[in-house]
């Protein structure tokens, strides 16, 4: 009987593999680098506000490694930005998939020439444009770029994605890209959340797990909880050979006895869905404890991310039967390395592990319904679907302690409260001179204390803006022009040896909206690195000898404009 079961299991596994290979062709894509592949980040890894949608290949902490086309195709899109993927390149392949290469330093000459043509046509550094199929054809293994550190990257690496024709990101490992991985995921803590009447009155109970070699348990092996239904999360992450980085897990499966009640697996995701990460992990812990990921083994009611399978009762365990429940959770990486945690759960009304606190709130928001909150100084408009679960909303306000603030200071619940999509916040202004109405912005003070402009529009004594986080909000005005600081150029300097002109630009509040650079009053392209706030213009080697004028014009989001002009010699 056992042999029959094993045979059936092997057949099902083979069918699954065949189906997977039919969906995702194996060994079609070659490595985009000519060094051994190791990861700094993987597909589905939790990041602030999103799941990571590709593989981050390490480049030995340097820029300038050759980047190659992973398969035959044509350059279908070039996107250059000071944020996000920075210099990015898209190749569409005959099988319909698209490979994406991000944070590039520069492109191959033919691609670079096409980019410069577009930038000069638009007179803009930032461009995002599509190319027709026949314009730039590339072959597998052809050099297309050099690796870099552009955009929002935290260090030199190559971001690599594979997308389908509908722009869904697919886990590149599904295509047979091989990485050396013999390490099992690590499990450090387990956390329990009451899902009955205590749900909104308790932050949960956390316990350190014990074990080694991929086998873990918690406490004495049995956990008694004073709630009749419970959700569980695990503080877990994966590791990979030849890398010190903690990366994301691939799969997690939970059993109540012999019954599978929850499965999480990251194979595919649309960019509209990747913000569901704030529901998949315990987001307050992630924000407040150095991005520590507690992966939930249950699904919030407003979470519709397609990474869950075999979910019974949203993964919430029912302990009301008074029985001891044997729980097993498997955590796996894509290579199949698996760690297990075994323990038992039971309901015990005498337990004091889950501690209730008083539930104080001013408004209950239903995640499934459109809602609003308002008073004479503030209005919130929250569309249905903007929240992931019921929110017992707290609010307070105070008088501004600074003369630079032109409203009350409004505290909208907590910054870590899960908000999935945009809502509107309208704040009444105070002592705002009519001359400065167009300079007023709604300011969000984030969890680090940094002020972030949300922009907004003046309407009948108030400023209305879009926001996607709860927290601290108020109104300020931006009348200050951006700053322009020359880094390697000065009046009359001979720039023949430098070959590049570098200046730093910054803005104190609303943020830089656009910039333009000119040589002798003719627009020239200049690259912008938002991480260092640096503009870099590569001087045309054919620029005539003599004296020339370099000019920078920078405008912020509230249309304050600064200009810097200097002569130099060639």
Q: pLDDT tens track of the chain, all 570 residues? A: 334 433 333 343 334 444 444 589 999 999 999 999 999 999 999 999 999 999 999 999 999 999 999 999 999 999 999 999 999 999 999 999 999 999 999 999 999 999 999 999 999 999 999 999 999 999 999 999 999 999 999 999 999 999 999 999 999 999 999 899 999 999 999 999 999 999 999 999 999 999 989 999 997 779 999 999 999 999 999 999 988 899 999 999 999 999 999 999 999 999 999 999 999 999 999 999 999 999 999 999 999 999 999 999 999 999 999 999 999 999 999 999 999 999 999 999 999 999 999 999 999 999 999 999 999 999 999 999 999 999 999 999 999 999 999 999 999 999 999 999 999 999 999 999 999 999 999 999 988 889 999 999 999 999 999 999 999 999 999 999 999 999 999 999 999 999 999 999 999 999 999 999 999 999 999 999 999 999 999 999 999 999 999 999 999 999 999 999 999 999
Identify the CA nearest to 114 among candidates 147, 82, 80. 80
How far apart are the C-alpha atoms of 318 and 49, rounded to whole Å? 31
Note the pLDDT of residue 15. 40
How far apart are the C-alpha atoms of 34 and 32, rounded to whole Å? 7
Beta-bridged to residue 402, according to DSSP, are none
Q: Spelled out in words, what is the top-level CATH class assigned to the domain 39-175? A: mainly beta
Note the pLDDT of residue 8. 36
- 363-477 carries CATH number 2.60.220.30: yes
Note the pLDDT of residue 18. 43
How far apart are the C-alpha atoms of 428 and 530, rounded to whole Å? 32
Tell me the domain boundaries of the chain.
39-175, 186-347, 363-477, 483-569
Identify the CA nearest to 464 among candidates 405, 380, 370. 380
How far apart are the C-alpha atoms of 449 and 16, rounded to whole Å? 49
Residues 231-274: tens digit of each pLDDT: 999 999 999 998 889 999 999 999 999 999 999 999 999 999 99
Which phi and psi (to 5°) does residue 126 adopt?
-80, 120
Contacts 24+ apart (CB under 8 A), 260-263: 260/310, 260/312, 261/310, 261/311, 261/312, 261/313, 261/315, 261/317, 262/297, 262/298, 262/299, 262/308, 262/310, 262/311, 262/312, 262/315, 263/308, 263/309, 263/310, 263/311
**Helix %, strand %, coil % of the chain (to 5):** 10, 45, 45
Note the pLDDT of residue 221. 76
| C-alpha separations of 62 from 38, 65, 70, 148 in Å | 14, 8, 21, 8
- 483-569 carries CATH number 3.20.20.140: no
User: Count of CB atoms within 10 A of residue 56's CB?
Assistant: 24
Note the pLDDT of residue 568. 97
DSSP state of 329: E
Q: Give pTM, 2 decimals.
A: 0.92
433 burial (CB, 10 Å; 0-12 / 13-18 / 19+) is exposed
């Amino acid at each position: 009987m056992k042999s029959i079961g094993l045979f059936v299991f092997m057949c099902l596994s083979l069918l699954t593999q065949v189906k997977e290979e039919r969906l995702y062709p194996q060994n079609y894509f070659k490595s985009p680098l000519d060094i051994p592949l190791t990861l700094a980040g993987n597909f589905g890894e939790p990041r602030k506000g999103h799941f990571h949608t590709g593989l981050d290949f390490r480049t030995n902490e340097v820029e300038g490694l050759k980047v190659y086309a992973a398969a035959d195709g044509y350059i279908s899109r070039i996107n250059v930005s000071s944020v996000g993927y920075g210099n990015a390149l898209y190749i569409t392949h005959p099988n319909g998939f698209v490979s994406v290469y991000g944070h590039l330093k520069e492109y191959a000459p033919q691609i670079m020439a096409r980019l410069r043509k577009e930038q000069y046509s638009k007179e803009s550094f930032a461009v995002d444009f599509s190319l027709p199929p026949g314009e730039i054809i590339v072959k597998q293994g052809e050099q297309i770029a050099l690796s870099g550190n552009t955009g929002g990257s935290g260090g030199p690496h190559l971001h690599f994605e594979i997308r389908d024709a509908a722009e869904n990101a697919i886990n590149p490992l599904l295509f047979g890209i091989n990485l050396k991985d013999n390490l099992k995921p690590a499990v450090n803590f387990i956390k329990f959340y009451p899902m009955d009447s205590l749900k909104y009155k308790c932050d949960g109970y956390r316990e350190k797990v014990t074990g080694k070699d991929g086998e873990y348990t918690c406490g004495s092996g049995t956990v008694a909880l004073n709630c009749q239904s419970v959700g569980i999360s695990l503080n877990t992450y994966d590791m990979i050979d030849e890398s010190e980085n903690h990366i994301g897990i691939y799969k997690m499966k939970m059993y109540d006895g012999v019954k599978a009640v929850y499965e999480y697996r990251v194979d595919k995701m649309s960019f509209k869905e990747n913000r569901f990460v704030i529901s998949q992990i315990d987001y307050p812990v992630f924000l407040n404890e150095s991005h520590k990921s507690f992966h939930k083994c249950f699904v919030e009611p407003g979470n519709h991310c397609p990474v869950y399978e075999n979910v019974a009762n949203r993964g919430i365990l029912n302990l009301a039967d008074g029985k001891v429940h044997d729980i097993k959770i498997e955590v796996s990486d894509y290579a199949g390395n698996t760690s297990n945690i075994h323990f038992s759960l039971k309901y015990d009304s005498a337990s004091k592990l889950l501690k209730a606190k008083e539930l104080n709130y001013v408004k209950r928001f239903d995640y499934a319904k459109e809602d609003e909150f308002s008073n004479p100084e503030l209005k919130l408009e929250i569309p249905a679907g903007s929240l992931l679960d019921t929110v017992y909303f707290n609010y307070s306000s105070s008088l501004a302690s600074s003369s630079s603030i032109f409203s009350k200071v409004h505290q909208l619940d907590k910054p870590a409260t899960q908000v999935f999509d945009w809502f509107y916040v309208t704040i009444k202004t105070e002592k705002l001179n009519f001359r400065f109405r167009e300079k007023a912005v709604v300011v969000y003070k984030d969890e680090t204390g940094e002020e972030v402009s949300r922009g907004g529009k003046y309407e009948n004594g108030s400023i209305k803006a879009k926001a996607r986080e709860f927290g601290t909000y108020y109104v300020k005005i931006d009348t200050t022009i951006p700053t322009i600081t020359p880094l390697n150029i000065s009046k009359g300097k001979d720039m023949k040896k430098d070959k590049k002109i570098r200046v730093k630009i910054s803005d104190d509040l609303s943020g830089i909206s656009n910039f333009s650079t000119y040589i002798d009053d003719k627009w020239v392209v200049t690259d912008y690195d938002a991480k260092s706030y640096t503009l870099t213009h590569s001087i045309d080697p054919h620029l005539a000898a003599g004296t020339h004028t370099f000019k920078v014009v920078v405008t912020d989001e509230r249309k304050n404009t600064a200009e810097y002009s200097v002569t130099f010699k060639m």
